Copies of this chain bind each other. A is one copy, B any other.
């Protein structure tokens, strides 16, 4: 994977700007479990994932690791270069979930480009806003609404009723049982799928990790489902 594969604005850059990015980016490899960035460290730089998988998480007061997002090859970790845009530290840790290869772009280089190139500024703004709002949504649903444990509890109930790991139910039906919206349930189920708790296919939800769902369900501050 090359730089052009990561940046949709590549063709809009001047030859000089492309050269700058190419000359300043450096490949790096990390073993599984290595910490690529933690929120309190200095600017690591933008990480472009060429191989493997990265996981960004925050650790809650109870010591629970809350996965905020995962990155696959072709995706960019902005948080590690975030100091590029803001000086507010946020305690996000980024780890290599598998053996991982990245291209690192120094924050100062990227920052400079953002100051002079409209496509770069636009791309950054959109990507950052989408990622941050995604993370806020997740934190709100999980930390404030307990939606992860409520949904986990409901899936386990449905499993008992169906006497099967495969549930034939719609996201809409689940949402109504949780007094929530279909979209919320769909996105939380997708999050569960990324975390390998369930697998989703048309019309069915298959429970993959009952133990983990039980742990989540017990984590609920309100055991009764509304």
Write out the residue numbers on chain B whose beta carbons fall within 8 Å of the beta carbon of A134.
Answer: 88
Besides A86-B129, A132-B136, 13 other A-B contacts (C-beta < 8 A): A58-B140, A60-B145, A61-B221, A85-B125, A86-B133, A88-B134, A90-B140, A91-B140, A114-B125, A121-B122, A125-B125, A132-B132, A139-B144
Please report the C-alpha to C-alpha distance between residue A135 and residue B90 in the assembled complex, in whole angstroms: 10
Q: A136 contacts which of B85, B122, B130, B139 (Cβ < 8 Å)?
A: B139
A188 at the interface (CB under 8 A from B): no
Q: Which residues of A contact B (CB under 8 A)?
A: 58, 60-62, 66, 82, 85-86, 88, 90-91, 114-118, 121-122, 124-126, 128-130, 132-137, 139-140, 143-146, 221-222
Write out the residue numbers on chain B whose beta carbons fall within 8 Å of the beta carbon of A122.
Answer: 114-115, 121
For residue A58, give the distance in angstroms from its CB to the closest CB of chain B: 6
For residue A72, give the distance in angstroms from its CB to the closest CB of chain B: 19
Write out the residue numbers on chain B whose beta carbons fall within 8 Å of the beta carbon of A145.
Answer: 60-61
Give this chain's copy count.
2
Beta-carbon contact of B121 and A66 below 8 Å? no
Write out the residue numbers on chain B whose beta carbons fall within 8 Å of the beta carbon of A121.
Answer: 118, 121-122, 125
Please report the C-alpha to C-alpha distance between residue A222 and residue B63 in the assembled complex, in whole angstroms: 13
Beta-carbon contact of A129 and B130 below 8 Å? no
Can you list 30 contacts pairing A with B, beta carbon distance less than 8 Å?
A58-B144, A60-B144, A61-B144, A61-B145, A61-B146, A61-B221, A62-B221, A86-B130, A88-B130, A88-B134, A88-B137, A90-B137, A114-B122, A114-B125, A116-B118, A118-B118, A118-B121, A121-B121, A121-B125, A125-B128, A125-B129, A128-B128, A128-B129, A132-B133, A132-B136, A136-B136, A136-B139, A139-B143, A143-B143, A221-B221
For residue A7, give the distance in angstroms from its CB to the closest CB of chain B: 15
Please report the C-alpha to C-alpha distance between residue A174 and residue B83 in the assembled complex, in whole angstroms: 27
